[in-house]
Structures are given as structure tokens and as C-alpha cells.
């Protein structure tokens, strides 16, 4: 059986920065407005998974949009403000560590994306979702775009909004659990974080007990 053609282009074909090419093509086909979807926080041991949906104004696209992982924290904050000030609509949704434990991280991420789209004040006619999966239950057609935050400015904008929002949430969590250093590692499995878990234990409703190594600490 022939292998399905990947939506992801060869690495050397990726643009240096994401552009508005996919969105413009969809708009020419009558799919307007177009929303970009992305999430932050699939991998950490603690904290929520946060998704964002962004509909950019095609005439006011902020300069410098990129995959949030390729930007400094300072650049993300500047672009976050620019996105919120210029976009047609921005929406954010999150699912808690407890919700992730009750399901799994992929389902939780996709559900957060669905909720983010539902929260937009302008209903999109099409959605571009980062990754290989389309969130179920969207109110419009959608396309999964591998490395979408490096290819689509709408997805890149969503990645920035999701990342900045989640980082701010984790910084607030540091006030609840100051010994765990959430403001520094944002819940990821750094050496400092793993040591804090060993010394102080997991934090109720903040740590994902279904993730290794936390699940190994659960009583039989």
C-alpha cells in the first residue's frame, strides 16, 4: 500500500520564518477568516496544557512572528502584546494537570484547542492546527500542519500566545509552591525540578501524576 504523503515539506524547504501563504490560499478559496491553533505544555511534569486560537488581521500581521521556541522570553512578550492589539480575535483555553491525568496529554491538548476555537469572538471558516492531529469537534473544516508554527504566521501567533500564557500561569504557581522553582523551569523535567520533587514531593493538582517518574511514586 502506498504511503500517505506527508504534509510536512523537506527540512530545506521550510521558510526561514513563517509566512501567510497558507492563509492567503484559503482566503482565495472563500475560507475567511482563518484561525491558527497551537498549544504549549505537552511535555512538562507539572502545570496545565494551554492552547490558543488566533485570527490575524491580514493587513496588520505583527512583524517577527515565529515558532515560540525560537524566540526569547522578551521577544515573546513583545509579540504577545502586538498580537492581542492587532488580531481580529484571540482565545485561550487550558486543561489542568488533573484533567490530563484523567485522560492523556494528546486528548487534553486537542480538547484545549477545541475550547480555544469555541472561545473566539469571530467564528473561523477554516482552522490550521499545529501538528499531525485535527482537534475533534471544531465548528469548521481544519488542516493539521506539521511544523506549522514554523510555516504559518497564524499558528506561530497561537504558539506565542499559548506559551506566554502558560509561562505566566507557572510563574504564579511558584507562589503556591516556592520550593519547586516553577518560575524557572515552567514544570519541565529539569534537574532542579526533579530534585525538588524528591525533596518536597509533588504538589496536589499541579503535578501530573500519570507522568513518569511521578506515577512510580504512587502507592500500589
Read off the pLDDT of residues 171-212 as tens digits, 9 standing for 90 and up.
999 999 999 999 999 999 999 999 999 999 999 999 999 998
Does 38 fall in a domain?
Answer: yes
CATH number at residue 81: 3.30.420.10
Q: Where does the pLDDT of residue 131 fall: very low under 50, low under 70, confident under 90, or very high at 90 and above?
A: very high
Q: What is the pLDDT of residue 218?
A: 54
Does 128 fall in a domain?
Answer: yes
Q: What is the pLDDT of residue 16?
A: 80
pLDDT tens for each residue of 136-175 = 999 999 999 999 999 999 999 999 999 999 999 999 999 9
Determine what percent of the chain is predicted with pLDDT higher than 90.
88
Average pLDDT over residues 35-52: 98
Does 162 fall in a domain?
Answer: yes
Does 41 fall in a domain?
Answer: yes
SS3 assignment for the chain: CCCCCCCCCCHHHCCCCCECHHHHHHHHCCCCCEEEEEEECCCCCECCEEEEEEECCCCCCCCCCCCHHHCCHHHHHHHHHHHHHHCCEEEEEEECHHHHHHCCHHHHHHHHHHHHHHCCCCCCCEEEEECCCCCCCCCCCEEEECCHHHCEHHHHHHHHHHHHHHHHHHHHHHHHCHHHCHHHHCCCCCHHHHHHHHHHCCCCCCECCCCCCHHHHCCC
- Domain of residue 23, residue span: 17-168
Does 210 fall in a domain?
Answer: no
**Count of domains forming the chain:** 1
Does 107 fall in a domain?
Answer: yes
Does 7 fall in a domain?
Answer: no
Q: Where does the pLDDT of residue 3 fall: very low under 50, low under 70, confident under 90, or very high at 90 and above?
A: very low
Q: What is the pLDDT of residue 122?
A: 97
Average pLDDT over residues 45-61: 98
Q: Where does the pLDDT of residue 216 fall: very low under 50, low under 70, confident under 90, or very high at 90 and above?
A: low
Amino acid at each position: 500500500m502506498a504511503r500517505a504523503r506527508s504534509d510536512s515539506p523537506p527540512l530545506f524547504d521550510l521558510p526561514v520564518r513563517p509566512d501567510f501563504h497558507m492563509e492567503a490560499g484559503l482566503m482565495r478559496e472563500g475560507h475567511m477568516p482563518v484561525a491558527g491553533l497551537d498549544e504549549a505544555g505537552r511535555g512538562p511534569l507539572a502545570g496545565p496544557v494551554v492552547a490558543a486560537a488566533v485570527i490575524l488581521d491580514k493587513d496588520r500581521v505583527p512583524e517577527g512572528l515565529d515558532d515560540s521556541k525560537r524566540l526569547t522570553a522578551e521577544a515573546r512578550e513583545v509579540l504577545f502584546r502586538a498580537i492581542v492589539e492587532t488580531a481580529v480575535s484571540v482565545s485561550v483555553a487550558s486543561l489542568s494537570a488533573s484533567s490530563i491525568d484523567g485522560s492523556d496529554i494528546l486528548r487534553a491538548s486537542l480538547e484545549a484547542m477545541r475550547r480555544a476555537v469555541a472561545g473566539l469572538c469571530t467564528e473561523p471558516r477554516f482552522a490550521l492546527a499545529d501538528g499531525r492531529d485535527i482537534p475533534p469537534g471544531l465548528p469548521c473544516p481544519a488542516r493539521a500542519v506539521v511544523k506549522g508554527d514554523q510555516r504559518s504566521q497564524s499558528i506561530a501567533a497561537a504558539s506565542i500566545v499559548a506559551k506566554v500564557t502558560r509561562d505566566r500561569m507557572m510563574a504564579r504557581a511558584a507562589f503556591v509552591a516556592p520550593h519547586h522553582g516553577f518560575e524557572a523551569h515552567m514544570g519541565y523535567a529539569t534537574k532542579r525540578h526533579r530534585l525538588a520533587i524528591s525533596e518536597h514531593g509533588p504538589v496536589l493538582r499541579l503535578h501530573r501524576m500519570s507522568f513518569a517518574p511521578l506515577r512510580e511514586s504512587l502507592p500500589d
